[in-house]
Amino acid sequence: MTIHRPSAAALRLLRLAAIATISLGCAHARYYDTISVSHRAMSRDAMATTRTKLEERLKSEVFWLENAEGVRTRTTLQGMAPEGVQALWLATTAGDPDAVEADRFVHTGAGHVPVTVRREEAAWILRIGVAQATGPRGSGANLVERWGIGPLEADGATWTDEAREAVDVSLALLSVAERRVLAGIPIVRKHAPAGETGDGAKAVGARYSGRNCDARIFVFDAAFRGEHTNFAGEPEAPLHDNVRALVHEYGHAIHKRPARIGICLIDEELPRIQERKRSLNARVSAFNRTPSGSRSRAESDAIAQVRDTLERDAASFEQRQRSAVEAVGADGPVLAAYAEVIGNDSPPTRYAQVSLGESFAESFSLFRADPAALQRLLPKVYEFFASGAHLRAMGAALEGN
């Protein structure tokens, strides 16, 4: 069994983030586990040994099997299906120690089996899907026209059917208003982010990139690597984890939209201000070339009035320009509304500790790809999204531009 753990630098970052969280008075961390664990099917002897080791480790624990309707049946480690045993083993040996839920494809002799493992106090709840279970495939045809997003672009990489279908499935999870945010933002296929090499489990699958008014969502090769490790949603119809990765980036587009639109409006207004200045300068130059005895007092007064109006408008523009630039670097109104709701609760995933923006994007990705998980983990945050509060905060900010 090969376990992909965070790099030393990443662990240092996580420790620093944990310290920051504790300093804010955050309650004990409870995470949705996103650690990818590469493993193989266990032999019969290895499975017997694993059952024994788990009994020793979890001797005071209670185990439940849960079906798709939420009905639970108590079980034992000896009576549990092998994929359930292996999922528990991964959760207790390779997973995040503060995780209360993990969705993993467990590799068995019959193929990959989706299993959800949840931790509730002194009990473990397992929900086991069927071998080779898959979620919706989606369609790669006419994505821009059907969803009103994009355009789709390529930067050295090809849009395969698998990539198009993943985009389709992820977009289908959004509301109409959320998809509207993506209009005009190119979704770009690229092999890998700048500076990233190798095929490590921590490779970036997608990324929102915004600079001033410009924004793009990059979709990298790492999102489509063949090995199944994690999924999102229910084990009866698991979504490939690249769907949640894409929705995460859509979350960034939502919370950054007010600042981006503010910059766009400034970019649109700047040429008009510049043209007004050129026009005034030309008018003044023409007036100055007129012999002094032929200069019109009315024209002089008109020029002065145009100049005064332009100076006021230019000063107002420069203030709004400064405010727009500052807004790009600030958390913004959507994140402020989210911060009030999440309060001192721990963020939804370990990675979400990096920043408030990453916490929002991780919560949003769970809300759309695995809403039941978010509701169990952070019920107030779930209601925040379900009520449309994120869109109202975004809309209110845009009305002020």
The SS3 of residue 126 is: strand
Q: Is residue 311 part of a domain?
A: no
Dihedral angle, C-alpha 385, 389, 395, 399, nearest 10 °: -170
pLDDT at 226 (0 to 100): 60
Please tell me the distance from the alpha carbon of residue 311 to that of residue 305, in angstroms, as a whole number. Answer: 10
Q: What pLDDT is attached to residue 360?
A: 98
∠ CA(181), CA(186), CA(191), 5° rounding? 130
Stated pTM of the model:
0.83
- Does residue 345 contact residue 31 with C-beta atoms inside 8 Å? no
What is the model's pLDDT at position 398? 65
Cβ proximity of 30 and 96 under 8 Å: no
SS3 65: strand
Report which residue type is found at 264: C
pLDDT of residue 399: 60
Residues 98 and 183 in one domain: no
Query: For the chain, how many residues are written?
Result: 401
Inside any domain, residue 306: no
Whether 395 maps to a domain, the answer reads no
Query: What pLDDT shows up at residue 328?
Result: 59
Do residues 113 and 147 share a domain?
no
Do 167 and 85 share a domain, yes or no?
no
Neighbouring CB atoms inside 10 A of 228's CB total 19
Residue 347 lies in a domain: no
Instruction: Tell me how many domains the chain contains.
Output: 2
pLDDT digits (tens, 9 = 90+) for 259-272: 888 888 777 777 88
Residue 160 lies in a domain: yes
Asked if the structure places residue 80 within a domain, the reply is yes
Spatial separation of the C-alpha atoms in residues 245 and 154, rounded to whole Å: 19
* End position of a domain, from candidates 128, 160, 187: 128
Same domain assignment for residues 156 and 243: yes
Does 164 share its domain with 244? yes
**Could you list the residue range(s) of the whole structural domain that residue 251 is in?**
143-228+239-256
State whether residue 82 is helix, strand or coil.
helix
- Could you tell me if 191 and 252 lie in one domain? yes
Instruction: Assign residue 219 the CATH number of its domain.
Output: 3.30.2010
Burial 247-275, CB ≥16 within 10 A → b, else e: bbbbbbbbbbbbbbbbbbbbeeeeeebee
Could you tell me if 88 and 50 lie in one domain? yes
| 149 shares its domain with 251 | yes
**Shared domain check, 252 and 151:** yes
Give yes or no: residues 161 and 122 share one domain. no
Whether residues 41 and 115 fall in one domain: yes
Residue located via tokens 């929002």: 360
Nearest CA to 190 out of 215, 154, 225, 166 is that of 154
The per-residue DSSP string of 354-390 comes to G-HHHHHHHHHHHHHH-HHHHHHH-HHHHHHHHTTHH
- The residue among 105, 128, 151 that closes a domain is 128
What stretches in the chain show pLDDT beneath 70? 1-28, 195-202, 226-227, 320, 324-330, 397-401
Residue 250 lies in a domain: yes
Residue 366 lies in a domain: no
| Residue 374, both tokens | 């978010």
What does the block give as tokens for 241? 């984890």
291-328 pLDDT per residue, tens: 888 888 999 999 999 899 989 988 887 876 777 666 65
User: Domain end: 128, 163, 196, which one?
Assistant: 128
Pair 124, 154 in one domain: no
- Specify the pLDDT at position 20: 36
